Amino acid sequence: MVSTVSAKSSSAPERDPQNMQAAASSLRYLPKETSVETLETSPNQSLMPLNAAVNDQDHLSVGGCDVVNLVEQFGSPLYILDEQTLRTACRQYKQAFEQYYPGESLIVYASKAWNCLAVCAIALQEGIAIDVVSGGELQTAVAAGATGEMLYFHGNNKSLEELELGFAADARIVVDNWHELKSLNQLTIAAGKTATILLRLTPGIECHTHEYIQTGHIDSKFGFDPDQLEEVFAYLSKDGSGLNCIGLHAHIGSQIFELQPHHDLPAVMVRWFKVAERYGLPIKEIDIGGGLGIRYTESDDPPSIDEWAKTVCESLAAACKATDLPLPKILCEPGRSLIGSACVTAYTVGSQKTVPGIRTYVAVDGGMSDNPRPITYQSVYRVLAASQMSAPLSETVTLAGKHCESGDVVIHAASLPPLSAGDIVVVPATGAYNYSMASNYNRVPRPAAVLVADGKADLILRRETYADLVRQDCLPDALKPF
């Protein structure tokens, strides 16, 4: 069961909740002609894009576009990205930091959530910098226009080639370990130039999230441990002539609903900031990472963007005041909470199988290759029938993927109306780590993606073809057929 945001004031009649695929009782579906005020709704708290609606054909529409028509035009599976929801999230982050932090601030999009030209370009248009974690993500961000202070380069094992790319783009390089620190220093000295860097530290703060996406506790592959930092500071002050260290960075994890860990983090950062001052380092930025969760199911209750920003901004300001530290520039790196709720994935229903007394499988034309999160993280999603939005949810089925893997299940217990081959279903909240983690398992081409706004759909990622899948293959002469 899924819902959209309700208008602040509207004369549109509410539909019978018993016959609607609606989620929380406080939310309802809106006809497409209703004007929806989205600025007061935190996108990460919505299961659907902010302007999703039910149109006169009883179809789901997103961005004023009929999802069934989009599938007819662009095929399925299909990622459908709502531009308004993404821009609203960007603006809410910027406005909240401007409101709650008395110093300078910068929002940096953690583009590993979904790195492509269109998404990076939208973020940059909104004044959001881009955070990348590989040479490929960096090249994409640069092609979209990111450079200098609008480009931050992360990663725990950057190659020399990647460091050179980041250096050439004048990116702020977030140094993760000794190997990288010394390699970059040698590279910059040889070039006769200076690289601007931040140091990533492990703050020792744990939070309740999946163990694979906890990054702030001590037992983590990321960052310098606290007992290494003074040695690092000493190296930079004496031997790091090719490095200009302007900041400290920490990140405690992902998909976090608790505010307390984020309240605690700035004070830890400030303590190390004061230590760095003793070594004469020109540190002026504190990057507190991201991690704010989004709503994937009705039971999820993440803080709003505003609440999260207020917590970290006020905590940092208080920690600085308590230690007589001039306010540094504060950075944060939202990824999932910027884009997760802005996208839905449309599938076409195919075969069905009923195991009497156990379950009914309904198969779709995608699965773990376009959304690996259920099989990787045991993530739970919701689904709705995009072509019959008011139909009663009379069946509980297992929505299965098409891949040759028993674990390829999109949703284990999906409440849906009776479906037939050719029906369109939609899984919401698929903007983060879906396309970016997509694969060609079973040699399935990756889906297309469209950007929707004001009733218009633009292709932002072409659907892969079978020719694309074999383009990189090489066949030795001895193996070629006669």
Per residue in 140-172, pLDDT (tens digit) is: 999 999 999 999 999 999 999 999 999 999 999
pLDDT confidence of residue 254: 87
For residue 469, what are the CA distances in angstroms to 234, 439, 464?
A: 50, 11, 8
Q: Which residue has the tokens 């990140």?
A: 251
If one counts every other C-beta atom within 10 angstroms of the C-beta of residue 167, the result is 20
CATH number for 428: 2.40.37.10
* 15 marked among binding-site residues: no
**pLDDT given at position 253:** 86
63 is in an annotated binding site: no
Computed over every residue of the chain, the mean pLDDT equals 89
Residues 236-243 have a mean pLDDT of 92
Q: Is the pLDDT of residue 219 over 70?
A: no
Which range is least confidently modeled, 39-48, 289-298, 391-400, 432-441?
A: 39-48
Residue 377 in marked binding region: yes
Domain boundary among 290, 318, 333: 333
Is position 373 annotated in a ligand binding site? Answer: yes
323 — phi, psi (to 5°)? -115, 10
pLDDT at 221: 84
Tell me if 364 sits within 8 A of 347, measured CB to CB: yes
Residue 433 is labelled as binding a ligand: yes
Q: Is 93 a residue whose pLDDT tops 70?
A: yes
Q: Answer for the pair 89, 339: CB distance below 8 angstroms, yes or no.
A: yes
CATH code where residue 218 lies: 3.20.20.10
Same domain, 43 and 175: no
**Higher-confidence residue: 29 or 434?**
434
- pLDDT at residue number 205: 65
Burial 245-275 (b: 16+ CB within 10 A, else e): bbbbbbbbbbbbbbbebbebbbbbbbebbeb
> For the chain, what is the domain count?
2
DSSP state of 108: E
The boundaries of the domain holding residue 188 are: 154-333
CA atoms of 61 and 285, how far apart (whole Å): 42
Least confident stretch, 58-62, 149-153, 204-208, 407-411: 204-208
Return the pLDDT at 209.
Answer: 43
Cα–Cα–Cα angle for 333, 150, 270, nearest 5°?
Answer: 50
Residue 290: count other Cβ atoms within 10 Å of its Cβ.
27
- Do 174 and 279 sit in the same domain of this protein? yes
pLDDT bracket for residue 226 (50, 70, 90): confident
Q: What is the percent of the chain with per-residue pLDDT over 90, rounded to a whole number?
A: 84
Taking residues 93-102, report their average pLDDT: 98
Same domain, 307 and 175: yes
Listed residue (31, 10, 121, 90) closest to 341, CA to CA: 90
Element (H, E) at 277: helix 260-278
Give the integer Cα–Cα distance in Å for 204 and 268.
9
DSSP 432-480: SSSSTT---GGGPPPPEEEEEETTEEEEEEPPP-HHHHHTT----GGGS
**Same domain for 297 and 417?**
no
| Paired strand residues for 256 | 292
427 and 289, same domain (yes or no): no
Q: pTM value?
A: 0.90
- pLDDT recorded at residue 87: 98
Average pLDDT on 375-396 reads: 95
Q: How confident is the model over 339-350, as pLDDT tens digits? A: 999 999 999 999
Of 153-167, 199-213, 248-262, the poorest mean pLDDT is in: 199-213
Q: Nearest Cα to 155, choosing from 195, 112, 196?
A: 112
CB 331 within 8 A of CB 108: yes
Question: Helix crossing, 229-238 with 260-278: angle to 10°?
Answer: 40
Give a yes or no: residue 419 inside a domain: yes
Q: Is the pLDDT of residue 213 over 60?
A: no
Both 279 and 392 in one domain: the answer is no
Same domain, 68 and 191: no
The reply to whether 289 sits in an annotated binding site is no
pLDDT at 270: 94
Q: Which stretches does DSSP call E strand in 283-342? A: 285-287, 329-332
Lookup: tokens for 6: 């309700």
Whether residues 248 and 367 share a domain: the answer is no
Peptide bond into 428 cis (omega under 30): no
Last residue of a domain, one of 273, 306, 333: 333
User: How much is the pLDDT for 203?
Assistant: 86
Q: Nearest 5°: phi and psi at 189?
A: -65, -40
Give the residue numbers marked as catalytic: 404
Contact, 203 vs 265, CB < 8 A?
yes
pLDDT at 76 over 80: yes
- Per 3-state DSSP, what percentage of the chain is helix, strand, and coil (rounded to 5)? 30, 20, 45
Helix (H, G, I), strand (E, B) or coil at 285: strand
Beta bridge partners of 170: none
At 83, list the tokens: 């531009």
Do the domain assignments include residue 472?
no
Q: What is the pLDDT of residue 29?
A: 35
Separation of alpha carbons 295 and 442, rounded Å: 30
Residue given tokens 């920003």 in the structure block: 309
Please give the average per-residue pLDDT across 109-114, as a whole number. 98
* Over residues 447-468, mean pLDDT: 98
Residues 76 and 175 in one domain: no
Same domain? For 412 and 306 the reply is no
pLDDT of 240 reads: 87
Which of 315, 367, 317 is closest to 345 using CA atoms? 367
Among the three residues 333, 357, 386, which one is the final residue of a domain in this structure? 333
Task: Give the confidence band of 54 by pLDDT, cuts at 50, 70, 90.
Answer: very high
What pLDDT sits at residue 10? 30
Average pLDDT over residues 34-42: 58
Q: How confident is the model at residue 33 (pLDDT cuts 50, 70, 90)?
A: very low
14 vs 339: CA distance, rounded Å: 28
pLDDT average, residue stretch 369-384: 95
Mean pLDDT, range 24-28, rounded to an integer: 28
Which positions ≥6 away from 428 have C-beta within 8 Å?
A: 2, 47, 48, 49, 341, 344, 381, 382, 384
CA distances from 167 to 194, 218, 243 (A): 9, 29, 11
| 322 and 212 housed in the same domain | yes
Q: Check: CB of residue 457 under 8 Å from CB of residue 67.
A: no
33 is in an annotated binding site: no
Domain co-membership, 292 together with 316: yes
Instruction: Flag whether 335 is marked binding.
Output: yes
Any domain includes 453: yes
> Mean per-residue pLDDT for 102-130?
98
- Position 206 scores a pLDDT of 57
291 belongs to an annotated ligand binding site: yes
